[in-house]
Structure 1
Amino acid sequence: SPAPALSNGFVTFGSFNNLAKITPKVLQVWAKILCAVPNSRLIVKCKPFCCDSVRQKFLSTLEQLGLESHRVDLVPLILLNHDHMQAYSLMDISLDTFPYAGTTTTCESLYMGVPCVTMGGLVHAHNVGVSLLTAVGLERLVAKTEDEYIRLAIELASDVASLSSLRMDLRNLMSKSALCNGSKFITGLESAYRDMWRGYCNGKVPSLKRMETIQNQTPQLTSLLSKDDPFGSIKENGFTLGPPRLLTSEENGGQSNQSSSSGQSK
């Protein structure tokens, strides 16, 4: 469907992320965006908004940041998935959370034609939105800083015609992207498993190297272990600091040494 801004006469920003992800810093950034886009509105949907005290606290926080409560719509849990997905028709632009980005909500947003503005960071949880948007060719909506995040959202809202055009194309872009290519994903996953197995067979076991590093860097660790067998507690938990032992064909599910050997080399 066309962007709701075409019929509403104003742009609606939104987020259906878990409330725990919407930190005070996120609200500060969102408030700056809404205050910079005249007559714009914000819709936020999550389970806790069924509680009046939670709603009032959320609205009060935004008012303290300069965003009037009458410009904010808070929606509680929607039971049916069909109705939940239809709720994306109420927003023009999805605002991602940070430093814990959305995953399912971002995919839903893109599938329903709602572009999302996200911000990259230093850890996986911060970069999920970056990965998803890059996969569908929307790298231009990935910010590196809070100021850039604000600028991208404002620029996206400033051209409603382009926003509506993107909305009409977005599901097709996503459907043709790597996000929806199950066979390619499985091929890559299988390749990663084979690489890990080859590394293990060649003695590359990150967990053991980490234990050795900790032992060398933290002498106090030795005193916490048994004097007779300093690595006793480690062995009791199924670990060994020796070189990894290659599994026999029977342990690896094979029928002969030859088949086991050939399986490891693939």
Structure 2
Amino acid sequence: FEVAVPTLRRDHLDIPSDAVVYLCPQRGYKLSVHTARLQLQILKEVPGSYFLIKGLADKESTMNFFMQIAEEEGVECDRLRFLPEVPLEATHRANLGIVDIVLDTYPYNGATTTLETLWMCIPLVTRVGQQFAARNSYAMMMNAGITEGIAWTDEEYVEWGIRLGTAPALRQQISWKLRQSKQTAPLWNAKQFTREMEKAYEQMWARYLEGKIPS
């Protein structure tokens, strides 16, 4: 991934330098009331934290969506920040530097946004489901050697969000593991992925020639 010069700083958003900053970078169609409630429950339990929301959607609708849920959950709306789109993806990745934790969406996980988060060595909280779209982030995290932040229930999602928000040493440990993973993890090894994919195709073709049903 290319990373440009950042154009966003915490002071631009009136966020203290020592605050814990969460981000949801997903497009509007991936947002759900249920997951937004979980995200705001996390924010409520981490004092002095802020929540950045960014994604292609109608800005006014997105603001109304989150602000209404924040009021219902007892979270101050002035802890929410709605970020504009930037013209270059490389700039977007650079601006992730102000974020401490990314909160994934469910049942439609991130895809490119998850890869970008892991590449920038930022801890991620994801909720795992049964269908493909709810297992994207889980698969990427496992292939990067990261299990911290993987939640199998709503309760675990909130627990991981709070734990990462209140444990800077754990966040640093995950960031270090992600930096190390760039040298060793299958997620970043395109040649290994290609070899394994080719091997899978060969095995499928061999089963077909033998008249066996797909396994």
TM-score w.r.t. length of structure 1 = 0.69
Query: Is 1:28 equivalent to 2:37 in the alignment?
Result: yes
2:133 aligned to which of 125, 130, 139 = 125
- In the other structure, the counterpart of 2:205 is 197
In structure 2, relative to structure 1, the CA distance for the partners of 1:205 and 1:169 (3 Å cut) is closer
Kindly indicate whether structure 1 or structure 2 has the higher relative contact order, using CA contacts under 8 Å at least 6 residues apart: 2
Letter in 2 for 1:40: S
Q: Distance in 1 between matches of 2:163 and 2:182?
A: 22
Q: Distance in 1 between matches of 2:183 and 2:137?
A: 17
- In the other structure, the counterpart of 2:54 is 45
The 5 A counterparts of 1:90-239 are: 90-204=98-212
Aligned-pair identity in percent equals 29
Aligned residues: 200
Greater Rg, structure 1 or structure 2?
1
Do 1:11 and 1:40's aligned partners in 2 also have CA atoms closer than 8 Å?
yes
- In the other structure, the counterpart of 1:251 is none
Do 1:48 and 1:76's aligned partners in 2 also have CA atoms closer than 8 Å?
no
Provide structure 2 residue ranges, at least 5 long, that are not aligned to the other structure.
1-9, 11-15
Q: Distance in 2 between matches of 1:161 and 1:101?
A: 26
Do 1:13 and 1:93's aligned partners in 2 also have CA atoms closer than 8 Å?
yes
CA RMSD of aligned residues (A): 1.9
Residues 195-225 of structure 1: per-residue CA shift (max 9 Å, x gap): 221222233466xxxxxxxxxxxxxxxxxxx
Query: Is 1:78 equivalent to 2:100 in the alignment?
Result: no
Do 1:96 and 1:118's aligned partners in 2 also have CA atoms closer than 8 Å?
yes
Residues 127-161 of structure 1: per-residue CA shift (max 9 Å, x gap): 11111111122113211111011111111111223
- In the other structure, the counterpart of 2:27 is 18
Do 2:26 and 2:56's aligned partners in 1 also have CA atoms closer than 8 Å?
no
SS, match of residue 154 in structure 1: helix
TM-score w.r.t. length of structure 2 = 0.85
